[in-house]
Amino acid sequence: MKRIAFFTAALLLLHSFLFGCTDASGDEIPQDTLRSRLLADAEAVVVTESSVIFTDAVGETREIAKNPASVVSLYASFTTLWYEAGGSVVGCIGGNTARTLYLEHIGRDITADAGMTVAANSAASKKWDVEKIISLRPSLILCSTAMDGYAVIEAPAAAAGIPVIAVDYDNFQDYLKWFKVFCHLNGSPELWDSVAVPVLDEVAEQIAALPSDNPPRVFSVFADYNSLQANTSRTVVGEMISLMNAVNIADSPQTAGAERVPINLESVYAADPDIIVVQCHSDAASAKRIVEETYRNNAVWQSLRAVKEDRVYYLDKSLFHNKPNSRFGEAYRILADILYPA
């Protein structure tokens, strides 16, 4: 357990040096420097008069022409960001989860829009009718590498002469990068200054204001429909925790490269987290039920200091499981209040 604690502390120091508001000596980093670090991926995006050049989710340099005439998006979260960045689509993912996202972020269920085609009812590529998607003849397809989406659609789209953007969006830096790509592709560069920059300023200001000494130790749990896992810093919530100078106890050499890992309660007990946050795949009530059913009779869980002191927090799905997009500032503010209560 001492080895785990040592490596966790080392990983926190490295992460703080790369992304946080302290440097390797523990001194606070100026807000402008932090802002520059958050912007690094967005700054690598090159905008020309007619195109946008960037690195996609599979590591390829892509050059996409501005103002595509028609777009199909095969991942609902990316669709909401595309709309936020001034675009629209002719084909999208349907299903209850996607429609809820559209209502929350776009303000309406776009599957009911005139001329809209529901390209598939799930982002899971095994449920796609690829011929139907290609038959829409879009100028551009947006998709994720998750659930083999890009692997399934890339070759058929290439054969039809349709460019595909593989998008990876796991943290705030990714939001800034893809917002810059999307708003320039949509011919709406002004949205960078009116939407993205204010969010960047808000997040940087919040992080820079956090204390750098005595960081809280945090256990981040992901509650799926019927199971629990630990979030490392490669997840949205885990990365936010680390960026805010807290120790994510799931980070260790053994979990390097993983997003989520099985929970070992003995290791959790040894790490002695100050706070437990639960990322809810569904609603908070469902997540709480899963946690209680799983650990109601577990003596180790019941003996955790965070549990005994009632410091278990269930995070709003719309901000901490779905992509918050322009609401990242709100998400960071809520998490800051949990990690650093007044």
Q: Is 332 exposed, middle or buried (0-12, 13-18, 19+ CB in 10 A)?
A: buried
Q: Which amino acid is at 138?
A: P
pLDDT tens digits, one per residue of 16-42: 433 445 443 445 567 888 899 999 999
Confidence of residue 325 (pLDDT cuts 50, 70, 90): very high
Residue 46 pLDDT exceeds 90: yes
More confident of the two residues 150 and 12: 150
241/204 Cα distance (integer angstroms): 14
Among 171, 204, 174, 147, which Cα is nearest to 320's? 171
pLDDT tens digits, one per residue of 255-296: 998 999 999 999 999 999 999 999 999 889 999 999 999 999
The reply to whether the predicted model has a pTM over 0.75 is yes
Residue 303 pLDDT exceeds 90: yes
175/204 Cα distance (integer angstroms): 14
Contact 103, 97 (CB under 8 A): no
Give, for 181, the enclosing helix (H) or strand (E).
helix 172-185
pLDDT the model gives residue 59: 97
Q: Which amino acid is at 133?
A: I
CA torsion, points 6, 10, 11, 12, in degrees to nearest 10?
Answer: 100
